[in-house]
Structure 1
């Protein structure tokens, strides 16, 4: 019996470590880390201090978002509108940009930094990691939901909790 418990604990710890390492490797592959990361746990503690920008496409945002996340998109991201209207040129505002995993959001965050915004962060693991850590996402009616747009089957494997939506 002890052997089984030790085996299962070892397997669980190994699996957890491997999945974290793999996410780290994935982000290292696609990102330059030019924008500092903020973890889901860190953000959850001080969320009201940040302006949250959602850098996913509208079909993803329409499924769910992090509460108070403002849609800015990716393909049609409008830097001028975002800086002038949403951020009101508050160069020292605390900003967190997120997407599915943190790849597209780094691109958007880099643009904000180049425009002179100094407190810009990229949500490590994006909305997937936010949901995986047990934090709430909301639908367009501002109600909690389990649904998260999983982008595609390849990226969707990183969403471990919640209901994956691909439409």
Structure 2
């Protein structure tokens, strides 16, 4: 089943993305996953984002989650800057403990591919009984909205950039013209 329309991932509100006053302990617990094609990722991505191709299998997702949760248990999740804050996301669960939870934030160009990965992550966490240790989010507006708002991104060389791969001519219509770059 590849339908990602019913993903129950929290969406990180755009009003909380990248604001310096939102920096808190949560920053150390956020793992960003870029689900776009590698050619898109090479043009630009959010700092500290990990590229996870859309062809990633369910088994690979399970292994990935176990690895990140093992790092979290050892307090080795990397400190991130200018990442989305999840401090005001409603979780609807009494078991929510931001001090002990890791947050996986997925993004792509507009949100479809990232919602597919978010769904795979949730299935993996459920199948391994790890839901109490992690939360899954889909970045509202994904990288196109992020770029259109002038938020920080880096290119493959680690340098700051304003450019974003437009994915295709149709989806690229939602990206400001001066931000489009294919290579």
Q: Same fold, TM exceeding 0.5?
A: yes
Q: State whether structure 2 residue 11 is matched by structure 1 residue 32.
A: no
Displacement, 1:159? 1.2
Greater mean alpha carbon deviation, residues 52-61 or residues 152-161: 152-161
Distance (whole Å) between structure 2 residues aligned to residue 139 and residue 85 of structure 1: 24
Distance (whole Å) between structure 2 residues aligned to residue 114 and residue 86 of structure 1: 11
Count of residues in Structure 1 that have an aligned counterpart in Structure 2: 137
- Residue in 2 aligned with 1:96? 105
Q: State whether structure 2 residue 68 is matched by structure 1 residue 59.
A: no
Distance (whole Å) between structure 1 residues aligned to residue 177 and residue 147 of structure 2: 6
- Residue in 2 aligned with 1:136? 152
Q: Which runs of 4+ in 1 moved over 4 A?
A: none
Distance (whole Å) between structure 2 residues aligned to residue 93 and residue 150 of structure 1: 30
Distance (whole Å) between structure 1 residues aligned to residue 40 and residue 60 of structure 2: 21
* Larger RCO (CA under 8 A, 6+ residues apart): 2
Distance (whole Å) between structure 1 residues aligned to residue 145 and residue 151 of structure 2: 9
Distance (whole Å) between structure 1 residues aligned to residue 5 and residue 64 of structure 2: 28
Change in Cα spacing, 1:160 to 1:54, as seen in structure 2 (3 Å) is: same
Stretches of structure 1 that go unaligned for 5 or more consecutive residues are: 1-29
Greater radius of gyration (CA): 1
Greater mean alpha carbon deviation, residues 89-98 or residues 116-125: 89-98
Displacement, 1:40? 3.5
Q: Which structure is higher in helix share?
A: 1
- Residue in 1 aligned with 2:59? 80
Displacement, 1:82? 4.2
Displacement, 1:73? 1.1
Displacement, 1:151? 0.3
- Residue in 2 aligned with 1:159? 175
Distance (whole Å) between structure 1 residues aligned to residue 113 and residue 37 of structure 2: 10
Stretches of structure 2 that go unaligned for 5 or more consecutive residues are: 71-100, 126-130
